[in-house]
Structure 1
Amino acid sequence: MKQIVANMAGTVIDVLVNEGDEVQGGADVVMLESMKMEVPVAAEVSGKVTAIKVNVGDFVNEGDVLIELEG
């Protein structure tokens, strides 16, 4: 199981994928707002989205798991 984690603390303003989607490494999967800036979080590896661990409006800390991938 591969995990995509937050690279900084912030508020989730958009989730760009759905469970079951195939994502490619480098693709943006979540948008965070931190210090009044929109910060994309990209998948480091390719895979199929098996779980989305956050919702729009959630506050996350650096290192929190956002999405789990399989494959």
Structure 2
Amino acid sequence: MTQVAANMAGTVFKVLVQPGDSIAAGQDLIVLESMKMEVPIAAESAGKVVEVKVNVGDFVNDGDIVVVLDN
């Protein structure tokens, strides 16, 4: 299992994946909004989405787990 963490504090603007989705390395999973900028969070490796831990509108801090992948 791989846990994908937020790389900065911000509000979840978009959730681009759902549990069960197969994803490729480098694919955007979540888009955060911080200081009016949209910042994507991408997968470091390919896998399958097991759990999405955030919803649109949630606030996350740097290091918070946002998606869990099964490699």
Alignment TM-score, normalising by the size of structure 2: 0.97
RMSD: 0.5
1:68 has 2:68 as partner: yes
1:36 has 2:30 as partner: no
Which residue of the partner structure matches residue 15 of structure 1?
Answer: 15
Give, in angstroms, the shift of residue 37 of structure 1.
0.3
Structure 2: runs of 5 or more not aligned? none
Number of equivalenced pairs: 71
- Which consecutive aligned stretches of 4+ in structure 1 deviate over 2 angstroms post-superposition? none
Structure 1: runs of 5 or more not aligned? none
In 1, Cα distance between equivalents of 2:45 and 2:60: 21
1:4-61 deviation line (CA, Å, top 9, x unaligned):
1101000001000010001111000100001110001101111100000000000000
Alignment TM-score, normalising by the size of structure 1: 0.97
Report the residue type matching 2:22 in the other structure: E
